[in-house]
Amino acid sequence: MHIHFQNAPKGPAPRLLALVVAQDKLPGGLERSVAEGAGAARFRGKAGQLFESFVERDGRVVRLALAGTGANGDGRMAALERAGAALAAKYLTSGEEELALDAGASGLGADELVAVLTGLRLRAWRHDAYRTRIKDEQKVSLTEVVVLGAPEGAAAAWKAASAVAEGVEFARELVTEPANVIYPESFVERCLKRFEGSGAELSFLGEGEMRKLGMGALLGVSQGSARAPRLLVIKWLGGDKHAKPTVFVGKGVTFDTGGISLKPPAGMEDMKWDMGGAAAVAGSLLALAGRKARANVIGVCGLVENMPDGKAQRPGDVVTTMSGQTVEVINTDAEGRLVLCDAMTWAQKQFQPATLIDLATLTGAMIISLGHEHGGMFANDDGLAEDLLAAGRASGDKLWRFPLSPAYDKLLDSQIADMKNVGPRWAGSITAAQYLQRYVEDATPWAHLDIAGMVWADKPGATWDKGATGFGVRLIDHYVHAKLES
């Protein structure tokens, strides 16, 4: 969607005109029919509420939309995003090609306008690449948004925000693509193409290089697949050249059958999004590069496919990780932690990060605990935890902290190796985090984000339709801005 700014309309009155309205505060100058119609329809301007009317202006019938932002106070920016999203949801397939947003008449400040545009753009994202028989009334028609009377500084602020929106859209794209299109090699190729000209530096390790490094856990997961694994590295070094980088590690299981510990067939098609952590990392780095963040940030994506062929690892196998620790693989469907542990070890040895944060669709137990409202967070550093919680609240990618404790370590004890890759059924998300903590070196500040319930939605949300949400991109961007750029 193309969004641009104008001081005033060029030519006759716009065909589709939108205003955003605070709760119980209709703007002045509205036609009587609009004001009375809004009252009759019980439109009060609650967040996300929308009212439509038709009026004649300058000899032309104008389709006038009022989008509610709710009452002022806490959650104001999120409510403004919902107003923009409501406009996108209503008019995306309406037959209208252009929407004019009257920022001046809406009384919006620069940051408020950016929030509305963010909600509008994110809610308008669709992936129709494989749909060949869409009815005309289902096709996207709205491709242009003209902002009228924007306050000073809004265009510059939107330039940075649109880079973040592009990062969210890229993460959604990667998550949405089927596993026959996005697999480890093509994930890398898609990133190489998308990052061209961004200023970021991309490289990757192949299977042979990882084998020489001793990544037995990651390679054990991939050995049942015909698809070769990759370890993708994305560097954005926009900060002080002497500052240690912050490293984000993403789980990128491009399809997860469960391996020999095969998942039930029902719903297995959803496992194309088991690379949602890697998608969030890639989308975040695209956002940071796009807005030229003044920070040193590196993304590492462990990319594998987990398949159950005759070469696949078996329950009971023992693998040696890059760290030298050995793991008894009790369940091949607990593969994400095996990928992450080697990727985390390599990232620490290679970059000596100031902070290490991993993102992963790791455990079904997290969905049982938090549903689809929060991502789970585990951290060995209280300051880091508070910073991430704050970034979650500010971005809308909300987190909830869970405990880490040595009391859980005994649940991972193995009789023949240093540890098992799973514990018993209870505390499943916690034991997964305890497992990963064993690969954090030299007391590096570390957080593990289990986002299993957040990367895919079965129903529309505040700024997304059904499907991929792009969760994690805005969280990382807010964290980097607040912690590394302030």
Q: What is the pLDDT of residues 286-340, one digit of tens each?
A: 999 999 999 999 999 999 999 999 999 999 999 999 999 999 999 999 999 999 9
pLDDT at 28: 82
b (16+ CB within 10 A) / e for 245-266? bbbbbbbbbbbbbbbbbebeee
Residue 483 clears pLDDT 80, i.e. is over it: yes
**Sequence-distant (≥ 6) Cβ neighbours of residue 54 within 8 angstroms:** 61, 62, 63, 64
C-alpha 186/C-alpha 175 separation (Å) is 13
**395: amino acid identity, one letter:** S
**Sequence-distant (≥ 6) Cβ neighbours of residue 429 within 8 angstroms:** 362, 363, 365, 366, 369, 376, 402, 450
- Please report, rounded to a whole number, the percentage of residues in the chain having pLDDT higher than 70: 100
Residue 12 clears pLDDT 80, i.e. is over it: no
Residue 11 clears pLDDT 90, i.e. is over it: no
C-alpha 184/C-alpha 181 separation (Å) is 10
Mind listing the pLDDT tens digit for each residue in 428-458?
Answer: 999 999 999 999 999 999 999 999 999 999 9
3-state secondary structure (DSSP) of residue 62: strand
User: Which phi and psi (to 5°) does residue 338 adopt?
Assistant: -70, -35
DSSP letter for each residue of 301-369: EEEEEE--STTS--TT-EEE-TTS-EEE-S-TT--HHHHHHHHHHHHHHHH--SEEEEEE---HHHHHH
The answer to whether 329 and 336 have CB atoms below 8 angstroms apart is: no
C-alpha 360/C-alpha 281 separation (Å) is 10
Beta bridge partners of 143: none
Length of the chain: 486
Residue 149 clears pLDDT 90, i.e. is over it: yes
Q: From the centroid of its chain, how far is CA 217?
A: 26
Residue 352 clears pLDDT 90, i.e. is over it: yes
CATH placement of domain 2-149: 3.40.220.10
C-alpha 206/C-alpha 187 separation (Å) is 13
b (16+ CB within 10 A) / e for 419-456? bbbbbeeebbbbbbbbbbbbbbeeebbbbbbbbbbbbb
Instruction: Enter the tokens of residue 66.
Output: 């009022």
Question: Where exactly are the structural domains of the chain?
Answer: 2-149, 162-484
Q: Which residues are catalytic?
A: 263, 337
Q: Report the candidate in 49, 118, 108, 46 with the shortest Cα–Cα distance to residue 395.
A: 118
- Determine the Cα angle at 62 with ends 162 and 165, to 5°: 10
Mean pLDDT for the stretch of residues 263-267: 96
| CATH superfamily to which 162-484 belongs | Zn peptidases (3.40.630.10)
pLDDT at 481: 98
Place of tokens 């799973």: 422
Could you tell me the pTM of the whole model?
0.97
The answer to whether 95 and 73 have CB atoms below 8 angstroms apart is: no
C-alpha 362/C-alpha 371 separation (Å) is 14
For strands 60-68 and 98-102, give the pairing.
unpaired
Mind listing the pLDDT tens digit for each residue in 83-134?
Answer: 999 999 999 999 999 999 999 988 999 999 999 999 999 999 999 999 999 9
